[in-house]
Structure 1
Amino acid sequence: MAEFRQYVCWSPVTAATTISTEAVSPSPSVFFATHVPLRIRRRHPEAKAEGLGTAVTEEQVRRDFLGRPTANGVLLMPVTGESGTGKSHLVRWVQEKTPSTDKRLVIHLPKTSTSLRAVVRTLLDQPGADTAELAQLRADVDRMSSELDVDSLQRRLINELSEAVTVADAKPGAARVLAGPDKLALLLLDPHVRDHLLQPGKLIPRLAASLLSDRRDREGDRPATFSLTDLPLDIADVNKASDKAKRLLSLITSRPELQTAAVEILTDQLPVAVTAAWNMGGGRLQQAMLEIRRQLAQQDKEIVLLIEDFVVLQGVQRDLLDALIEAGVRGGKTELAPVRTLMAVTSGYWERLEETVLTRAKAATPYLYNLDAALDIDEQGQEDISIFVGRYLNAARVGQEALDNANVAAGAEVPNRCKTCDFQETCHSAFGASAEGYGLYPFNWPALRRAIRARPAHDSPDTFNPRAVIGEVIRPVLVDHAQALNGGTFPDQRFREDYPTAEDEEFLLGAVQREIEERDSGDASRRKTFLEFWGDAPRNLTNLEPEIHHAFGVSLLALDDVVGNASQSATRKPDEPASARRTGVRTATGELPRAIAVMIEHVEEWQGRQSQLPQGTAAYLRNIIRQAVINRCLWTDPVMAEPLITELDRAWPLNSTVVSIEDAGGERLPGTADAPIRFNRNSGNATFFRQLLLAGTDVAGNAAAVRRLREITELHQKNLQQAAQRYRQVTDKDLVLGIRASLLGAALAGRAWPGMKDVDLLDASFADGIGWKRADSSSRTPQWNSLQGMHQNGRGILTERLKVGVGFTRGKTGGVRIIDGTRALPLVRQAAQEWTWRKPESPLPPWVDKAVSGFHQFTAVIDAQCALLQQNIVTIRTFLPSGVSGSETVAAVDQAYRAAVGEGLGPEDLTAFQALLADARQADWRCIERAERDLARAAAAEDDESRSRATLAACAVDRGEDLAVIERFLVASDSWLTKRLQQARLRGGGSGESAVLRVQELLRQWMEVDG
């Protein structure tokens, strides 16, 4: 029976052939045996912020991709994320689940097929693609691939790059200095500069090599962009360059903005150089792909294109993308086969695509799938990480052949090697296992966590990068360190070098290391690594579980005399230093206060031994710095009401989101990464902290800290004010939104409308509206009056918060007395650029929400009021044709009234009619023409926006009661005269006859207008 000591439950050879860092390399059975559901979020392509979108599964991605109708025969779905997050894995998963059919042609571009020949042949070697043009393109690519070697290709790349830079359009700014044939293009042709650009490790040689050969497993991504390190800025003997090249080099070296411009120009023109070097310019591949789509359309087929890495298409990306997003439906007829494209591309590269291409691409992109949802390497992520690692460890133990035989690729259950192991119970108890029952041996969770953090990808030690974990942790330990484990030397010095302690992990304290050296001098180095990784760096010398010692062949120590052994607490309290070393600082009166001395020692350990700064000490330092900024803030940049203490405690809290100290307690709060005041671990900051702690004692020599603290307060007052603005929700964006709501409400009350002077709009924006009543409310639609009333209910809190955002106060509890017009006026102008209400994507500030209740109907309410006003004018003009005097009409009606009353033909309610006559006599009849002009201005507007603004201006004006009085007078007069006219005709003579005749003439004119 085998012994668990130094037991290796896998074959290193089998592990090496089974585990691959690339999604395309493993067999289908290994792929599905190791597949762990990805953290995918589906979002709109314009959404920028991380974390936005809907969480979806791989199957949901596949169903959406294959089932969504194409727009004009085109569907483009990018899979975005940083390198190593699983983009290619998702594309491979969809490929494995999506076979070709008689209606669907699946074209798969694997990530490992990086040579240009492989890419082009994969695209063109399709059924039915047999035209002479396609054959010639394939032959040209084959010929170039056979004739070119790395040396000749990289020279051609530089030549074509020089030509592309020469004819490229000059960009604005610093790039113009480099434009033209005698600038950057000339530099590329200088022999001495070319030698520098062709040095090993530079972009051109690496790109040439990747274009000529496919990517090997564990090989880095294809280089896609130039960087500053590729520029010839450090040429040893610049005098060997030509005079012009030397002058340009000197200029570029001295100006960083030119260096950035040079990198951008070279990167932009690199694809052009690649296609030209390969004799594929002029859009040949684009035309070839369009021809393939045209032929497949005749076969009633669609194309499903799966691209595992868009970067591998370097040189043909533009042509291919243009062909993929070309509309296939023209004039209602399908001329090009529909094409569905799922492609993996880094987020940054997707956004850097040429603007014209990106705009067209996004038009065919209903969603993109993002895999940047980070999995933190902490206790919360332990279960998910253990599941991921467990599957790979199990696949390495089982091997590809057994997985193939188990039919895992067809959906069969994955064999668990641990179930047949004699040491399963012992191993899982000591080292741990995933939730699916796969053992973590030879890791346990602390060792796994530390190993992952020791080899971070992209400078993100707290972010789980699947590719990095597979390629830099799992595979190396199983393959490269298996012999050391079997030989009883694991973890050895090589392991220590491969996995240095990450910054966020605790070091083994010096006192513990010295104790190890004294008690285990023969194997001290291995025991230190063993305790730091598998024991999670205990604060005191201790033994771990005996089974872990036994497995690695690390002896147990006799530790009965060690304080803080495994049977005791191994954690040091923040206010009890482990060593007896003092600070060495003495005050004039003797010893330092114990609390200050302890905190100074914490700072020394934080800097000198890379230990974590305890939370209590960090909070004490944060409070000194935070309070200094608050005390010196004048609240004038921009002007705003000084916040209350309770508001400051929430807006500018005493924690790491305001003052962040590297590797200090309390640094894991959300938002810490965006803290405005940040301190890295270095000797300068440690000295500053030490002096701050001593500033309250009688120890001299702290003036430098006081000066630096003053600089910090001056630098970060603006950050404090911005934080207060965000807490109060009175940022410029919030204020513009609130002012727009206020202006629209003022328009409902007849106090503001488009076209008013800025100062009048400013007054209306900040008016609380108390006492606002419309004189023409009887002429308003019920919807208008209702919406105005709802706004008035919330206007008080709206304008009060607007004043707080841009006003002065007297004392912390006083109200706003003065508005800062210099700041407020630009905000009003910005708000007045739009006189409609669109609900923002982000939640409304609570102080705005009540005032805009019902504003989603604002445009409809305005339109209804405009229709009512037009109807009022039509009614008036029915009885009062243009050019007829209102005063004469009133006089005529009055004369007819007097005569008619004498003849017994007057209105039924004489008192009411007399009052109406009096009101009409006092009315301003010019209001009719003003209303007509306003309505005509809206009707004559040339575009929708101008028409909307003019309509609102016509409706918002408070026209008083004159229009309503005139309309009632004319309608009542018409009703009376029409009713009595027949009676007047039947009665001849009398004193009322002449008056009746005049009224009849007036009625005749009205009837002509009325039809």
Structure 2
Amino acid sequence: MIGNRVCWSRAAVDFATQVDVGGLEVDDPRADAVFDAIHQKLPVFREQGGRFTEESEDEVFRAFTRPITSNEPLLLFIKGEKGTGKSHLVRWLKTRLGARPAWHVVYIEKRNTSLRRVTEKILAGIDTPKARQLREELARASSEIASAEEAVSALLARLDHLVTFDPATEIRGLSGVSPAELADLRRKTHRLLGDYTFRKVLGRSDGPVHRIVRLARGGAEPSEDVDETDLHLTEADLQVDPAVFDDLGPELQTLVGSLVSNRYLRTDIAALCDWYLPRAKAEVFMGQGTDLLSVFEDVREEIAARNQELCLLIEDLVLLHGIDKQLAQALTIPASSRLCKLRAAIAVTSGYLNSLDTFTDRGVQFTLNINLKAIGQTSLRDFVGRYLNAGRLPNTPPIAPAPHSRIPDTPNACLSCPDRPRCHATFGTSTNGYGLYPFNGTAIDRLVELASPGDFQPREILREVIRGPLETAEDELPSGGIFPSGQFAKPLDDVRQAIPPGMRAAIRRTNHATPDTEMSLRAFYAQSPPNADPELEAIAAYFGSQLSHGIADDQNDLEDRDETPRKSQRPPTSEIDQWANGVGLLSSGTASRVRRWICDAVIGQLQNGPYGVVISRTKGSRPAWLIGSHPLRLSDVQIERAQGGGAIESQFPFRIDATDDNAVLIQGILAAIDGSSLDSVDQARWFFYLQTRISAYASKLAHLASVEAVALPSAVQALEVMRNAATDPGQTVATALPAMLMPLSPPGQHPAIEKFLKEVRSVREEALVTVRAHATAAKGAGKPSLFDVGPLLQQIQTNLKARSVQTETAAEDRGSQLLRQLQTQQSRAAKQAWNDVARGIQDVGRFLDPTEDLSATLRVVDRLVKECHARGRLPRADSKEQYETLRNRVGAEAMESYRRLSRKVASDVGPGDLWDILNDPMPQLTALGRFAQVTNELLSNLEQSLTATQISGAVDTDALIRELRDLATLLDKASQEVQ
């Protein structure tokens, strides 16, 4: 066979595997036929008195259809978490009911559900005055709201009205709030909801009210899981941005500030709003004229007059939020001679049911929170087999109904297939006789386990076990020999974790044509992955694929296995396997052993090879070596996703990526360290591969050592430039050398310089290593010492006056790279630091000229402040104290720094000028600027207070003249004292 058959229709698969039963329209012949084809009976648990008893779907059906012998409504709740199949079971009940003339059946589906549509379905076929009135209200409410934005506005307005004017004194969630506190809370909530800006924030398109409106108007998709919290306002929804309200009044700003900062206030306001939210929704979207409870009684009266029972089936109670409490109350009213008997099956999440007190203890509760073990392997295979068969059926539904049922029998699409005998023999069938092709039972087990671990999650199985793999199969099967490729079930297992990395590497080495296909076959289709078995070999032959020989796991001899198929029992995954699979880190202990072994091997290669480099061991707690002037550290062996690598980024690393081949390499290294022979892992292939890499890396290090020997002038220049960070950088070789080795910075260092020195720390360390290595090599590889500077004197003497990098070179040697890195970092730091200084000078310059005689000015102002304070002329009682506090923070030193920096800013500032602000001048400039500003404000206030004249009534001209003369006298005295 050149290719393989694709025996399903993509359209049929997509239609059958809709992730929610709400996508299959009720009472549509094709949808009903597909539903019957895909339905798989699963266990359910009946909850009673806190105990759970396993029962079947048939028992659920019997519990729902049993005769009602009392007046109490028969309520049946299908509980479960999201995606567990609650709606599916309600739909199955509807399908099983068939024609029941004695029942008036109302089915409320998730599809296109809205509050209005739900109510209209309840009213279907009912023609009473109250029903007609409610229909008119629904039509009017619907016509009044034309868009989501209008609905949001109407809902907020109605909510505001109810919060403000409802007289209720008890609110759920606010039980500890006193009447006075509740009234205050209503006032605050009204102030917020009544504000246009706050409404706009709550009503944004991605906000909470838009979400609530969309669901109330029927915007939920059939496959959408509506979370209960999506129907409520929470305190998180009220966490707004205070900046939005900056241009509004102080009252609202204060309230918004309290709302943002006080979680308890947000919680209380959210609880108050949420209490009225269902009522507001009902009144906005259904009108305010009719009580649904009384209408529901009308409905039951009409059905009773027809001598029928009311049967209500609800796919998801959450979507009825807004009328759920009224509906719950209506469903608990007993039957009578006037009201018909009632039964209801309702799908609801476990938590949501608890919020409806009226419902909690009044019905039979079944739960669908089932784990895979409870369902069993056979049922899970049948579940997938039914969907596979549905995807093979034609689009038109079968027409021959089964006996005593309106639902047609589901045919087996395989019966007409010419490949059926060989296909079924190779891939197997479900208990219904549906072929499992292109899977086998083991593949289904493996995929289901990965897609839905633990609990039964049918939606995940539909997405990841059926739809995704079948799309891959549809593309690959016609070519033959390709399926299942690496794309098969990639979201579930992209590395095929069931196969050890060593075997994956061996498969790639031996199967050059389709290694990914072989790994997928072994990982998913083998009974005991990754070992080949007769069933797997038959499947590979069917697909036209090949399996490598001689690579089976030595620990699992397939020839000794009994003939009874058993579920794969994979051995525990090792640390190295998890690392290669991308699901775990390599521990620091393991990684450290590997790094040390490789470094020792590199050093051994350098010592025994024709490289002619000086190698020395450095001191320290972590092993490190010097190859000439180039350091080799354990951290230079960079292992992907390994712990303990250190924070220093190596410029010339020996990389070990997380691959299958490198997993084998690590296993080989660890085995060698533990004393095993080199061929104990992968027949020593790992060793020869690694030796090639080590030889190349050793050659690279030797080349770097020889190249870096010429980097000495650059290293010396870099150290001399950076010594300017010291308080005393020195001007001779003798005084400069200590600063080069260990610069002691002043305590008030500029932050930009401090940051710069941290950024170039690696440059300094590399320069020091280069200088030390040169000195050590010059004296015959003796004990290294930084004070062996004899050969370096000339280099140091050359650049004593250097404040920044002096050379411009395009060379690519390490020394040039070192200087360019230093130059770039210093230029950036100088620009940032001097920009800050320039802004500080500009701030001071608004009030104080650099050429001003600050001492003379201070004497004049001091005298003026003193005299005005004594005469009570200062603007405030603490003006003199404030002035003197700032006055004591400035002096001649601050003014001189201001002058010097002003001249510097006026000229061109370069990288070398960074050292002119080694002592951070910003505190002095800030103090000087603040003093100048306050003094200017003080003098301005004095001038205004002494010269301003308020014309209101008669003016005491004599008093005004006396004040002006007093001011003139004060100024004269101050000027004479200065002179």
Q: Could you state the TM-score of these two structures normalised by the residue count of structure 2? A: 0.50
The reply to whether residue 369 of structure 1 matches residue 366 of structure 2 is yes
The reply to whether residue 272 of structure 1 matches residue 252 of structure 2 is no
**CA gap 1:275/1:514 in 2 versus in 1, 3 angstroms:** same
1:637-668: CA deviations, max 9, x gaps? xxxxxxxxxxxxxxxxxxxxxxxxxxxxxxxx
Asked if the contact 2:398/2:409 (under 8 Å) is kept, the reply is no
Asked if the contact 1:308/1:344 (under 8 Å) is kept, the reply is yes
Structure 2 partner of 1:58: 57
User: 2:499, 2:293 → 1: CA distance?
Assistant: 60
Structure 2 partner of 1:22: 20
Structure 1 partner of 2:127: 130
Query: Once the 2 structures are TM-superposed, how far is the Cα of residue 518 of structure 1 from its aligned partner?
Result: 4.2
**CA gap 1:320/1:217 in 2 versus in 1, 3 angstroms:** closer
Structure 2 partner of 1:462: 454
The reply to whether residue 40 of structure 1 matches residue 44 of structure 2 is yes
Structure 1 partner of 2:153: 155
Residue type matched to 1:350 in 2?
Answer: L
User: 1:73, 1:572 → 2: CA distance?
Assistant: 55
Structure 2 partner of 1:287: 294
SS, match of residue 97 in structure 1: helix
User: 1:552, 1:261 → 2: CA distance?
Assistant: 64
Asked if the contact 2:73/2:341 (under 8 Å) is kept, the reply is yes
1:334-377: CA deviations, max 9, x gaps? 12222222211111111122x3x34xx63x43x22222243339
Asked if the contact 2:486/2:494 (under 8 Å) is kept, the reply is no
Structure 1 partner of 2:213: 208
The reply to whether residue 416 of structure 1 matches residue 412 of structure 2 is yes
**CA gap 1:442/1:142 in 2 versus in 1, 3 angstroms:** farther
Asked if the contact 2:79/2:367 (under 8 Å) is kept, the reply is yes
Query: Once the 2 structures are TM-superposed, how far is the Cα of residue 471 of structure 1 from its aligned partner?
Result: 4.6
User: 1:97, 1:54 → 2: CA distance?
Assistant: 23
Structure 2 partner of 1:548: 539
Asked if the contact 1:87/1:344 (under 8 Å) is kept, the reply is yes
Which aligned pairs between 1:478-877 and structure 2 lie closer than 5 A? 478=470, 482-486=474-478, 490-491=483-484, 495=488, 498-500=491-493, 506=497, 508-519=499-510, 531-535=522-526, 538=529, 545-550=536-541, 554-557=545-548, 559=550, 583=590
**CA gap 1:542/1:285 in 2 versus in 1, 3 angstroms:** same
1:772-810: CA deviations, max 9, x gaps? xxxxxxxxxxxxxxxxxxxxxxxxxxxxxxxxxxxxxxx
1:26-84: CA deviations, max 9, x gaps? 6332222222223223333xx33xxx244433343333333343543533222222223
Asked if the contact 2:526/2:536 (under 8 Å) is kept, the reply is no
Query: Once the 2 structures are TM-superposed, how far is the Cα of residue 278 of structure 1 from its aligned partner?
Result: 1.5
Asked if the contact 2:530/2:553 (under 8 Å) is kept, the reply is no
The reply to whether residue 386 of structure 1 matches residue 390 of structure 2 is no
1:369-426: CA deviations, max 9, x gaps? 222243339xx82112111111121122124525445659646643222334344454
User: 2:176, 2:244 → 1: CA distance?
Assistant: 23
Query: Once the 2 structures are TM-superposed, how far is the Cα of residue 253 of structure 1 from its aligned partner?
Result: 5.2
Query: Once the 2 structures are TM-superposed, how far is the Cα of residue 275 of structure 1 from its aligned partner?
Result: 0.6
SS, match of residue 295 in structure 2: helix
Residue type matched to 1:392 in 2?
Answer: Y
Asked if the contact 1:41/1:370 (under 8 Å) is kept, the reply is yes
**CA gap 1:190/1:610 in 2 versus in 1, 3 angstroms:** farther
1:267-312: CA deviations, max 9, x gaps? 4443222112214347622221111212333333321112222122
**CA gap 1:157/1:452 in 2 versus in 1, 3 angstroms:** farther
> For structure 1, which segment, 25-34 or 96-105, has the greater mean C-alpha deviation from structure 2 after superposition?
96-105
Asked if the contact 1:431/1:440 (under 8 Å) is kept, the reply is yes
Asked if the contact 1:82/1:347 (under 8 Å) is kept, the reply is yes
Query: Once the 2 structures are TM-superposed, how far is the Cα of residue 452 of structure 1 from its aligned partner?
Result: 3.6
Residue type matched to 1:463 in 2?
Answer: D
User: 1:260, 1:304 → 2: CA distance?
Assistant: 40
Query: Once the 2 structures are TM-superposed, how far is the Cα of residue 125 of structure 1 from its aligned partner?
Result: 1.8
Which runs of no fewer than 5 residues in structure 1 stay unpaired? 587-602, 612-1011
Query: Once the 2 structures are TM-superposed, how far is the Cα of residue 132 of structure 1 from its aligned partner?
Result: 3.1
Structure 2 partner of 1:312: 319
Residue type matched to 2:415 in 1?
Answer: K
Asked if the contact 2:116/2:285 (under 8 Å) is kept, the reply is no
The reply to whether residue 395 of structure 1 matches residue 390 of structure 2 is yes
The reply to whether residue 326 of structure 1 matches residue 333 of structure 2 is yes
SS, match of residue 327 in structure 1: coil
Residue type matched to 2:18 in 1?
Answer: S
CA RMSD, 1 decimal: 4.6
1:842-898: CA deviations, max 9, x gaps? xxxxxxxxxxxxxxxxxxxxxxxxxxxxxxxxxxxxxxxxxxxxxxxxxxxxxxxxx
Asked if the contact 1:516/1:528 (under 8 Å) is kept, the reply is yes
User: 1:386, 1:145 → 2: CA distance?
Assistant: 48
Structure 1 partner of 2:81: 82
**CA gap 1:575/1:299 in 2 versus in 1, 3 angstroms:** closer
**CA gap 1:272/1:516 in 2 versus in 1, 3 angstroms:** farther
**CA gap 1:78/1:507 in 2 versus in 1, 3 angstroms:** same
1:444 to 440, 443, 446: 440
User: 1:571, 1:295 → 2: CA distance?
Assistant: 63
Query: Once the 2 structures are TM-superposed, how far is the Cα of residue 150 of structure 1 from its aligned partner?
Result: 2.1
Structure 2 partner of 1:725: none
User: 1:202, 1:479 → 2: CA distance?
Assistant: 37
Asked if the contact 1:203/1:230 (under 8 Å) is kept, the reply is no
SS, match of residue 278 in structure 1: helix
Residue type matched to 2:460 in 1?
Answer: A
Structure 1 partner of 2:351: 348
Residue type matched to 2:132 in 1?
Answer: A
**CA gap 1:373/1:339 in 2 versus in 1, 3 angstroms:** same
Asked if the contact 1:162/1:186 (under 8 Å) is kept, the reply is no
> % of aligned pairs identical?
27
Which aligned pairs between 1:210-249 and structure 2 lie closer than 5 A? 210-213=215-218, 216-221=221-226, 224-226=230-232, 231-233=237-239, 235=241, 237-238=243-244, 240=246
User: 1:475, 1:150 → 2: CA distance?
Assistant: 34
**CA gap 1:210/1:425 in 2 versus in 1, 3 angstroms:** same
The reply to whether residue 180 of structure 1 matches residue 185 of structure 2 is yes
The reply to whether residue 473 of structure 1 matches residue 465 of structure 2 is yes
Q: Could you state the TM-score of these two structures normalised by the residue count of structure 1? A: 0.49
Query: Once the 2 structures are TM-superposed, how far is the Cα of residue 562 of structure 1 from its aligned partner?
Result: 8.6
> For structure 1, which segment, 237-246 or 442-451, has the greater mean C-alpha deviation from structure 2 after superposition?
237-246
Residue type matched to 1:307 in 2?
Answer: I
> For structure 1, which segment, 309-318 or 485-494, has the greater mean C-alpha deviation from structure 2 after superposition?
485-494
User: 1:38, 1:371 → 2: CA distance?
Assistant: 9
**CA gap 1:568/1:210 in 2 versus in 1, 3 angstroms:** same
User: 2:18, 2:570 → 1: CA distance?
Assistant: 42
User: 1:549, 1:234 → 2: CA distance?
Assistant: 60
User: 2:235, 2:490 → 1: CA distance?
Assistant: 27
Asked if the contact 1:303/1:337 (under 8 Å) is kept, the reply is yes
1:99-137: CA deviations, max 9, x gaps? 5655431222123141223211111122xx223332132
User: 2:226, 2:498 → 1: CA distance?
Assistant: 33
User: 1:540, 1:234 → 2: CA distance?
Assistant: 59
User: 1:308, 1:335 → 2: CA distance?
Assistant: 28
**CA gap 1:202/1:397 in 2 versus in 1, 3 angstroms:** farther
Asked if the contact 2:108/2:118 (under 8 Å) is kept, the reply is yes
Asked if the contact 2:120/2:135 (under 8 Å) is kept, the reply is yes
Bigger Rg over Cα:
2
